Amino acid sequence: MAAIQDRVFVVILSFFVIFVSGFSMSRSGKPFNGLVASIHKLLSLATVVFLVLLLMRINHLARLSMVEWIVCAIAVLLIVAAIASGSVMMAVESSPAAHLTHRIVPYLALLSTAAAFWLLFPKLR
């Protein structure tokens, strides 16, 4: 189980780097720094893939309940929505709705992922 806990730590660290790079990009404004934007996007994508693989591993070790699956699915969908809204926002002429969405959805993704880990914590011991 220590390997699972290490993987959870990797997800938490990834969220931290994603948020720091996102704040950095929002402070600098457009045009975005290409390296920071690439790290931000690729790490976001890697985190969602890693999170799905982690959830499948946890389910293999200890079956997840329907509530746990629903919370995990919401977390993954919100991360995907954050990636999508960020992609729209990086477009040349993005709408104010995309900016507003990308300011809210990442926090919801973080909260839902934290809720999922909180529900799964007893299974991670």
Domain of 109, in residue numbers: 2-124
pLDDT in tens, 74-103: 999 999 999 888 888 877 677 788 888 888
Q: Which amino acid is at 59?
A: N
Question: What single DSSP character describes residue 121?
Answer: G
Which of 91, 1, 104 shows the shortest CA–CA distance to 54? 1
| 1 pLDDT higher than 60 | no
Q: Is the pTM of this model over 0.85?
A: no
| Domain count across the chain | 1
- CA–CA separation, 93 vs 118, rounded Å? 39
